[in-house]
A and B are shown apart, each in its own frame.
Chain A
Amino acid sequence: MIMKKLNIKKIIIKKMFDAHSAVGLAVGAIMYLICLTGSLAVFYPEFERWEQPDAAEYNNLSPASITQAYQEYLTQVITPEKSVYVVLPTAEVPRAHLSDGKQEWWLNQDGSLGSVIKKPWTEMLQELHIQLHLPETFGLIVVSFFGILLAHLVISGVLTHSRIFKDAFTLNWGGTGQKQQIDLHNRLSVWGLPFHAMIAITGAFFGLVSILILIAASAFYDNDRDALIADIYGAEPVITNAPALDIERSFANLAIADSQATPIYVVVQNITTSKQFVEIAATLPQRLIYSEIYQFHADGEYIGQQGMANGPIGRQAVYSVYRLHFGHFGNLAVKIVYLVMGLALTYISVSGINIWLNKRGKIDNINYLWSSFVYGTPFALSASLMTSILFDVSAHQSFWFALVASLLVAGLLKNVSKISYSLVICTVGVLLITLVVYGINYGKLILIPAITTINICLLLYVALMILHSRQLKNEHRKTIN
Chain B
Amino acid sequence: MTDLSLLPFIGEFAALLLSSVGIFLLWRNWRQPKSNKWQLCTSLLILMGSWALCIKLSGAEFGSIYFLCMLSFHAWLLILLTRKSTPKQLLPLRNNAPSLPWSRKKKVKLLYYSLALFFLCGLTGVLATMTLARFFIDSLATQLAVSALAFPVFWALASIWLSTTTKLLRTSIFMSIACVLMAGGIFTL
B-binding residues in A (CB < 8 A): 11-12, 15-16, 18-19, 21-23, 25-26, 145, 147-149, 151-152, 154-156, 159, 165, 168-178, 187-188, 191-192, 194-195, 200-202, 204-205, 208-209, 211-212, 215-216, 219-220, 228, 231-232, 285-288, 312-315, 317-318, 320-321, 324, 329-330, 337, 340-341, 344, 358-363, 478-479
Contact = CB atoms under 8 A, between A and B. Distances in A.
28 contacts: A15-B164, A21-B101, A22-B100, A22-B101, A25-B100, A147-B152, A148-B155, A151-B153, A165-B30, A187-B79, A201-B149, A202-B149, A209-B148, A212-B130, A212-B147, A232-B141, A286-B59, A288-B62, A288-B65, A312-B139, A314-B137, A314-B139, A314-B142, A315-B145, A329-B62, A330-B66, A359-B96, A360-B99
A363 B93 contact: yes
Given A174-B85, A314-B143, 17 more contacts: A16-B160, A19-B163, A22-B101, A22-B163, A165-B30, A169-B75, A171-B83, A187-B79, A201-B149, A202-B149, A212-B147, A219-B186, A314-B144, A320-B61, A341-B69, A360-B96, A361-B92
B42 interface: no
Contacts of B102: 18, 22, 25-26
A285 B159 CA distance: 40
Interface in B43-99: 58-59, 61-62, 65-66, 68-69, 71-73, 75-76, 78-80, 82-96, 98-99
Contact of A177 (B27, B88, B150, B186): B88
A176 B90 contact: yes
A152 B79 contact: no
Contacts of A201: 149-150, 152-153
Interface centre among B59, B96, B159, B187 (most CB of A within 10 A): B159
A184 B94 CA distance: 24
Q: Please name the 4 residue pairs, one residue from A and one from B, whose CB atoms are nearest each other, closest first.
A: A314-B145, A286-B59, A361-B94, A19-B163
Contacts of A313: 142, 145
B126 interface: yes
A169 B86 CA distance: 17
Contacts of B163: 15-16, 18-19, 22-23, 156
Contacts of B96: 359-362
Given A191-B75, A341-B69, A362-B95, A19 B61 contact: no
A358 B61 contact: no
Given A151-B156, A317-B146, A25 B101 contact: yes
A25 B101 CA distance: 9
A67 B75 CA distance: 52
B51 to A, nearest CB: 12
Given A231-B140, A314-B139, A151 B72 contact: no
B27 A169 contact: yes
Interface of B: 27, 30-31, 58-59, 61-62, 65-66, 68-69, 71-73, 75-76, 78-80, 82-96, 98-102, 104, 118, 122, 126-127, 130, 137, 139-153, 155-157, 159-160, 163-164, 166, 186-187
A408 to B, nearest CB: 23
B139 A286 contact: no
Contacts, number: 209
Nearest to A479: B90
Contacts of B122: 148, 211
Nearest to B100: A25
B68 A194 contact: yes
A19 B126 contact: no
Interface centre among B58, B69, B130 (most CB of A within 10 A): B69
A152 B156 contact: yes
Contact of B160 (A159, A228, A363): A159
Contacts of A191: 71-72, 75-76, 79
Contact of A228 (B68, B100, B101, B144): B144
B152 A175 contact: no
A247 to B, nearest CB: 31
B157 to A, nearest CB: 7
A312 B95 CA distance: 60
Nearest to B99: A360
Contacts of A232: 141, 144-145
B139 A176 contact: no
Contacts of A209: 148
Contacts of A317: 145-146, 149
A187 B27 CA distance: 13
A155 B157 contact: yes
Contacts of B93: 361-363
Nearest to A154: B156
B86 A151 contact: no
Contact of B156 (A11, A155, A212, A359): A155
A318 B85 contact: no
A169 B80 CA distance: 9
Interface centre among B118, B130, B160, B163 (most CB of A within 10 A): B160
Contacts of B98: 360, 362
A318 B16 CA distance: 30
Given A148-B152, A314-B145, A192 B72 contact: yes
A336 to B, nearest CB: 10
A172 B160 contact: no
Contact of B145 (A147, A172, A208, A312): A312
A169 B160 CA distance: 27
A174 B159 contact: no
